[in-house]
Chains A and B, each alone.
Chain A
Amino acid sequence: MEIEVTDVDPNLFQVLVKYFYSDVVDTVALGGNYRDFANVISKYGKEHYTRILEDYLITKGTTPSIMRYVIHDVP
């Protein structure tokens, strides 16, 4: 079966398919283009989108504001 892909940067699409096989985003091949990759994965693998975004935020050292809440013990 042939699937012709003309709407995506070939490099990003290759990273996407590699992610399907390895469960790891090849950040080297991605070349820092995480934003476009997130766009691609939101279309072709939307069930992975949250995780990809989480990985991206971790690499950036960013904590989403909702995760900054600390629940204190009530005395």
Chain B
Amino acid sequence: MPPDSTFTFGGYYPTNDTASNESLIINPVEGTALKPRIDGSAVPLPRDGTAAALVSITNSALTELSPEEEKIFGPCSAVVLAFGTGSCNFVGDFDLLLINNGTKADELSYNFNKEDFHDVVFKLRDNKLLYAHKVVLYCRSEYFRELLETAKARNKIIMLTCSKLTQIIY
């Protein structure tokens, strides 16, 4: 893990009773030898009770999990046991949050063909639906970038019907 990397976690903050800039309170997991091991500070939290709260943690205080702990939690760099902020806490939301060693690509690939937050639906030839996200298509493909830029109007149906593909000789 890079020594100065910062992890940011998001979560729904459930109440209006929110104090800003509180330190994280990390609770140990009952029945294990795990101790609080992450030190960090919370960014100012929204007070309206509706927005997501972001917590940034630098990993300068992180330590690697022991082999025994890895057996419990799987391969990961560190574990956030619980978040607490004064009178209200995140225990319900972040009872156990693992910081995986996975790359951004791993996290992104998890969202492949997931309906969550999708904003593009591909209707394929066999009537299958494939869910995607504009931002991924936009960033990864010049073709889709041009397509999306020319079809900014919402709910517009685009048909890709050109059947002639470039012949490639290896």
Question: A residues near B, CB below 8 A?
Answer: 1-10, 13-14, 17-18, 20-24, 35, 38-40, 42-48, 53
- What is the count of residue pairs linking A and B with beta-carbon distances less than 8 angstroms? 120
Q: A13-B130, A17-B132, A46-B143 are in contact. Are A6 and B157 (CB under 8 A)?
A: no
Interface range for B: 35 or more
- Also in contact, A20 and B155, with CB within 8 A (given A7-B162, A14-B130, A35-B168): no
Main secondary structure of the interface of A (DSSP, over half): helix
- Is B112 a contact partner of A22 (Cβ separation < 8 A)? yes
Say whether A4 contacts B160, CB under 8 Å: yes
Cα separation A7 to B159 with both chains bound (whole Å): 9
Binds A, one of B25-33, B50-58, B115-123: B115-123
Judge whether B121 and A2 touch: CB under 8 Å: yes
Chain B proximity of A66: nearest CB distance (Å):
14
Binding site for A on B (CB under 8 A): 105-106, 108-109, 111-113, 119-126, 128, 130, 132, 134, 136-137, 140-144, 147, 151, 154-163, 165-168, 170
Partner of B160, one of A5, A14, A23, A53: A5
Cα–Cα distance between A2 and B126 once the two chains are bound (Å): 15
User: In the complex the two chains form, what is the Cα distance from A40 to B122 in whole Å?
Assistant: 15
Bound Cα distance A14, B141 (Å)? 14
Flag if A23 contacts B121 (CB, 8 Å): no
Q: Are B112 and A21 in contact (CB under 8 A)?
A: yes
